[in-house]
């Protein structure tokens, strides 16, 4: 660990890094690399803190895609109101891992803190399903939620999208797809340390790549190759939204980045692209924390702070729409 980077970490982040370094063990030589990544990602589940009780957790199927995909709907405590605002959420995991279990705890907390329903989407993962399966699933899920709002007890005029890391990229892409396809659009987008350019060629990648969950820039490139095998496709807007020639006409955005995250620069560059296109952008860079801190609220204070910020932002956007 480079001492200058280590010194910039918050105290709780530094303690977590030291603990994780002490627990590193080499994988078995015959381990499946995809399963290794998936199981490794699941290790962060308890670091999100306690499991909060919510009003209800409902399981649905988005039947407008083939095969159908899962949707888990969290209604906050006291959320018996017939028509709640909603956040359609796309989990992170580098396009090859993550799911309901890895994000259950932070999404429960976000539902209760925001007072809105959270619709988590179980989109298809690589390498079993390559691009464009994930964005098409997420686009279909958003449209399905809006079209079935009455049954879901959701206010169709107050639906937002959001996600972390790979899920943040998907949320950004879905906003582009809705605009391009003249489809129902979300009220706002919440992008938490998002991928925005799969070239991963920004200065923060070269400075901080050893801090990325994948282990290095090269490792992450190998994961991305499972999601988008054709390198020529990685410049397409629905793969790398930072490369979209036009980002005008998109909904307001909250973009959260982390100071010590290799993906920091691309997230902040996307915030500037949106501002330049007259999009209303709120950007917060959290100092001294790493990629993934949103899911680490049980051990890193900034994780809870980010949940509170997202909740406050959602409440602000929903309040702007008259009941």
- What does the DSSP assignment read for 98-163? --HHHHHHHHHHHHHHHTSEEEEEE---TTTS-TTHHHHHHHHHHHHHHHTHHHHTEEEEEEEEEE
Q: Is 101 a catalytic residue?
A: no
Q: How far apart are CA 117 and CA 127, in angstroms?
A: 31
Per annotation, catalytic residue among 60, 91, 103, 291:
291
Give, in degrees to the nearest 5, the angle at Cα 124 between 183 and 40. 135
Q: Is 91 a catalytic residue?
A: no
Residue entry with tokens 């582009």: 176
Q: How far apart are CA 175 and CA 186, in angstroms?
A: 7
- What does the DSSP assignment read for 166-205? HHHHHHHHHHHHHHHTT----S-EEEES----TT--SHHH
Residue 231 phi, psi dihedral angles, 5° rounding:
-60, -30
Residue 122 pairs in a beta bridge with: 70
Helices 301-319 and 100-114: angle between axes, nearest 10 degrees? 60
Helix, strand, or coil (residue 90): strand
Residue entry with tokens 């489809």: 183
**Strand-by-strand arrangement of the 281-286 sheet:** 56-62, 69-75, 117-122, 84-90, 154-164, 189-192, 253-258, 281-286
Q: Is 184 a catalytic residue?
A: no
Residues 6+ apart with CB under 8 A from 45: 101, 102, 104, 105
Per annotation, catalytic residue among 122, 137, 261, 265:
261
Query: Around Cβ 25, how many Cβ atoms within 10 Å?
Result: 5
Per annotation, catalytic residue among 97, 114, 165, 204:
165
Q: How far apart are CA 48 and CA 43, in angstroms?
A: 10
Active site residues: 165, 261, 291
């Amino acid at each position: 660990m480079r001492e200058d980077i280590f010194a910039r970490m918050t105290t709780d982040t530094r303690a977590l890094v030291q603990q994780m370094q002490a627990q590193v063990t080499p994988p078995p030589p015959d381990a499946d690399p995809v399963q290794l990544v998936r199981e490794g990602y699941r290790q962060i589940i308890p670091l999100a803190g306690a499991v909060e009780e919510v009003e209800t957790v409902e399981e649905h199927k988005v039947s407008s895609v083939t095969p159908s995909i899962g949707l888990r709907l969290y209604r906050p405590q006291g959320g018996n109101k017939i028509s709640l605002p909603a956040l359609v959420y796309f989990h992170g995991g580098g396009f090859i891992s993550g799911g309901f279990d890895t994000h259950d705890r932070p999404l429960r907390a976000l539902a209760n803190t925001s007072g809105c329903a959270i619709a988590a989407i179980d989109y298809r993962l690589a390498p079993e399903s390559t691009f464009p399966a994930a964005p098409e699933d997420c686009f279909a899920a958003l449209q399905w939620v809006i079209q079935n709002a009455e049954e879901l007890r959701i206010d169709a005029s107050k639906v937002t999208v959001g996600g972390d890391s790979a899920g943040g990229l998907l949320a950004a892409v879905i906003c582009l797809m809705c605009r391009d396809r003249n489809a129902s659009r979300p009220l706002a987008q919440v992008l938490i340390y998002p991928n925005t350019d799969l070239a991963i060629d920004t200065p923060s990648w070269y400075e901080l790549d050893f801090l990325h969950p994948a282990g290095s820039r090269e490792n992450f490139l190998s994961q991305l190759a499972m999601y988008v095998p054709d390198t020529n496709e990685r410049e397409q807007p629905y793969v790398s939204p930072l490369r979209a020639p036009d980002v005008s006409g998109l909904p307001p955005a909250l973009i959260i980045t982390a100071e010590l995250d290799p993906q920091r620069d691309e997230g902040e560059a996307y915030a500037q692209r949106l501002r330049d296109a007259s999009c209303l952008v709120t950007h917060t860079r959290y100092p001294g924390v790493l990629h993934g801190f949103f899911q680490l609220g049980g051990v890193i204070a900034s994780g809870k702070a980010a949940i509170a910020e997202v909740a406050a932002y959602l409440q602000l956007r929903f309040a702007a729409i008259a009941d």
